[in-house]
Structure 1
Amino acid sequence: MELQEYKKMLINTVLEHYPVYLQSKLLKYMTKDDRVINDRRKIKPGQGSLLSIDVTGIEGVGNKLCHLLDHAEEGLYAKIYKYVEEFEFVKGYRYACIFEYKEDLDIDMISSFDSSHIQLYYHDNDKYDCMWRTGSWIPTVNLEKDRVLFKYSVTLDNREGDKIKYVVLVVMELNSKRVSIYFDSVASEYKNPVKDFYAVMLDTIKRNFEKLIGINLLTIDFKAIIYYIQYLQNNNVHLSENIKVSAQKMKRDGTVSYLEAKKDSEEEPTIPILGELKEWLRERDYLFEVNEETRRIKEELSNFIEEIEQTSDYPKVQIRFRDKGFHLEMTHAYKNYEYSVFKIDGNLSDDRELIEYAKACLDKYYRELEART
């Protein structure tokens, strides 16, 4: 793909695929070193156009980004697209899938890979991301102190021939031996195949990454972690995080019960019928304190509810991190694959801070559970 076509695709991606708040974050990112000025207060007296690109006079974030990316590759405008490529390494993504591996690897081993397999990222060179459609796939790799980021870039197009750049980011953490695969939603007109687009994309990149690095990505049993957290809470064990786990889908004896959890609500989300029964018992606790017989009835009912909860399968749960003000949806056995997929609800205004917090929390309880078994 020629550079001009690549830049045109970037413009279409930013304007059509990025929500407004993400466009604003991208523009802010492009002003981090004052090469681009979007604040009149930063313009110094006598500062000319040779020192910076002033976009303060252009109306609208989209128009400013279009001006920067669509300009000829000359002067200060040369390689402006590199800011977008950098931004793709740090921006927040809606979905994540987390694995672990056992092999020992280090930065030097990965940086020594042949250039026909990876493309190391440098801000100052003329290379741009290798786009995949068919055939070989060369990810752009960003090396950090204790982790390596692999950016897989895919060309997606609709029936009108409009192209967008779709990014799947694979983050390899060398110390904890965790691999996180991040991806975003995309308009249905760009999905190919339409059915199970994300599952197919995720599995394709997972297999490609395993072959590239020479490791096996192992599934983490997040369902067991959720059960463990619920076990701690049910036994009144104090958790350092203020979290609430709620089932959104329950399967038992061939039947399925669904719950759409209320957003931004302090009310406890509950599975219909079962949750209503628990609430009914709590509200009428006084009825069961009459004598020993009534207390035994209450105990039998509570044990019955607990048995149903323990013998039911919860393929979809919501984890509400009340101390951080966000919630995470977790789908187990995603599209009949073994792994779980996470979805962050709300604006991704804090880059990957929210999902990283959730990962650290779940990883802590995963290690606790491993130590117990």
Structure 2
Amino acid sequence: MKTKRLEQENSYRQSFQSQVIAKELRQGKAWVALAESAFYPSSGGQLFDIGSLNDLPVSNVEKEGDLVWHQLEQDSLQVGDSVAGVIDWSRRFRHMQRHSAQHLLSQALLKINADFETKAVSLSSETCTVDFAANPEAHDLLKAEELVNTIAYQNLAIRAFEVDEQDIAKYPLRRPPKVSGRIRLVEMGDFELSACGGTHVRSTAEVAPIKILRLERIRGGLSRVYFKAGLEALADYREKHEVCTQLGQKFSAQVAELPARVDALSQDLLDTRFKLKEAQHDNAQYLARELIAQAKANNTNVIVHSLDANSEALLAPLAQALTQVLDYALLGLKSPEKASLLFTRSETASHPMNDLLKNVLPLIGGRGGGKADRAQGAGSRLEGLAEALSQAAKLLNKP
């Protein structure tokens, strides 16, 4: 048995009539093979088509040997049934644009530098990739992008045809074919020629524009270029244009001025954070002096104190300042969502803070941990915070 590949003859075919010639159940899903099919199965970096057979959703397509198998969401077809197949054209056309654009880009890279030979491709998402040899510079990618779009706008015809294996040497292929026997070639004017079984557009103009997005160095001394093409490149431009327009309005700036404005804003933010940290440190030192004075007046080396939610940033620096003078700092913090505990000790104190915290965490329904000199935790029982601090102080003072 063999499935006739209709999409190989006409990538623009969106519907067809056929017959079920085989059926299998795989992991609870029904799979059917057809006498002929226009569904493209996953291959060569290009994803499978989806669509329907007799209005039953087709969610996956695979080729095994000479058969093309279609995964159905409902087990309603039997061997011998006639079917009407419909391809999800929006998905198919996006895949065609991606694949044809990849061929052109791979050839453009090779034209720029003979070392930029394509090693692998991925066309499975809106952002496609080409992995190739060597390490290009930014100007190389700019040249490749200009070349590939120039070729696209020349509206070169794209055609697929088959040749015998023994005749393959007559054709200037970009890379050697990976199959034998009858070999399907895809020709794009006089610019690109490769062995390929994928679906392609009819003209290079249908993939424009092609936009290189970024470059990444990957294993094996390879480079990976990310790109978008056709309708997906247009959608990407629209999205970025909208973002730039909104930012331009917020900053009262042209698009070219936005990086400098953002840099200035980032520096202002860093300066503000530094000043805030200094202020928090000063506040912690001031509060520490007050609490230390109270502790000395009460003739104790243990300070127990609770902060409100607005003082969360003071918690750590306050604990550090206190234990430079006192033996223990038992601090609590109450916010609308949780109660927090931070227990610290000086270098000369001996009671393990992690054990102390473990004993009182149930009072706030909390979890936490730490080491002997510092432990912290939090819980959802806000009403238990005062009792947890009180109990911790009692345990410290216990003989």
TM-score bracket for the superposition, by shorter chain length = under 0.3
Structure-2-length-normalised TM-score = 0.21
Question: Which of the two has higher C-alpha Rg?
Answer: 2
Structure scoring higher RCO (CA < 8 A, sep ≥ 6) equals 1
- Please identify which structure carries the higher strand content: 2
TM-score with structure 1 setting the length: 0.22
